[in-house]
Amino acid sequence: MTSVSETEFRSEVESAIAAFAARRVADDADGLRDDRVSVVAERSEGEAEELDALRRYRAHLAERGLAWVDGPAAYGGRALPAAYAEIVRELEAGFVLPDDGYLRFSVSTLSPTLLEHGTPAQQAEFLPHLRTAELIACQLYSEPGAGSDLAGLSTRAVRDGDGWRITGQKVWSSGAHFSDLGLCIARTDPEAPKHAGLTTFLLDMRSEGIEVRPIRQLTGGASFDEVFLTDVYVPDSRRIGDVNAGWKVVVTSLLNERSAIGREVGVDDALVERLVDLARTSQDPVDDRTRDAVADVVVRAWATRLTTERLLGDGAPGPELSLAKLLTTDLLTQMSDVASDILQAGHVAETGEWGTYAWSELTLGLPGLRIGGGTDEILKNTIGERVLNLPKDAR
């Protein structure tokens, strides 16, 4: 039984957020407000200040029992239904708050993965601090030589007394340069089939032997990193799941990551409205083709939102969530194309007009979004083989 009604909870949350932040006002073209339309946190300047503000906000929520409203009480949660967490997200959208993209992996991917595969000691040690942003985590999966074939990785973990020594290279690790923890997959049995000889570990990113190098992106930001691991020691108590059973942990984390992309990066009503306003206020009147394209974006946004909500449901995320991620990235790509048609040269050259050139950041950041959480091609294979039960592609 829930001890607080949704109406009471909504009032409680709104009061708590209002005590920390100002309410959001409608964007306009006065040139004073941030006109960014990117869906990925890629700021290099001011990152430390943004992280500090985010930690203060999460601590503010934790003091009021709102840092993890649908999480287990034993780990700092409120043990309320998932619908209450949606209320928090809905109300947060109405306030000017620090960018929570820095916490996306910690909260939406690592936390549920630890709940399923972590030991009670690991859950007690990490879960409360991940939700308050005292600890921030990143993912150490992708490798330069493996491409989309994650199980083809070459990073090795070798037994060393009560722990392991890990050596290898990871790439495209979002936020590794500011993270405290890294969920790493490594090969522990080179003789086993490639999916069967892997083990996952939770690394201390300050450990000796870890070097993080930011990768400059097309957007100008550097939110992705390459990580070099040289004889990094990790105690066995930081192993997540059984030895050589790391692929199960990987699958759980990727399903939760795709769920997060569908839910949190997904359809942004304000971004859709910005595109409609861009067409409405364009200096050059839009033609019928562009007008139809804008209308199609609005319809697709509704369809994507409703489909994602249906796929998420109340149960554990399944392979069907690959569709949610595909729908989201396809929608954002279509929005980018329509904005480019409307702006024309203004899409690639700054004219000084508010809310125009900013669309270029979305366009330049999209290739990374289409790769993160599984490439389009991998997701389509997943849908075909694991959802539609079609014959497997030739391996």
d(CA 110, CA 79): 18
d(CA 333, CA 186): 34
Output phi, psi for 200, to 5 deg: -105, 145
Candidates 128, 113, 134, 71; CA nearest to 201 is: 113
Residue 78 tokens read as 């409120």
Candidates 203, 228, 229; CA nearest to 214 is: 228
Query: Of residues 47, 257, 320, 361, which has the active-site annotation?
Result: 257
Is the Cβ–Cβ distance between 193 and 151 less than 8 Å?
Answer: no
Is the Cβ–Cβ distance between 347 and 359 less than 8 Å?
Answer: yes
Q: Is 390 exposed, middle or buried (0-12, 13-18, 19+ CB in 10 A)?
A: exposed
d(CA 263, CA 107): 13
| Residues in contact with 284: Cβ distance below 8 Å, sequence separation at least 6, in sequence order | 344
Lookup result for tokens 């979002």: 174
Does the active-site annotation cover 90? no
Is the Cβ–Cβ distance between 94 and 23 less than 8 Å?
Answer: yes
- Report DSSP state, residue 107: I
Q: Which residues are catalytic?
A: 257
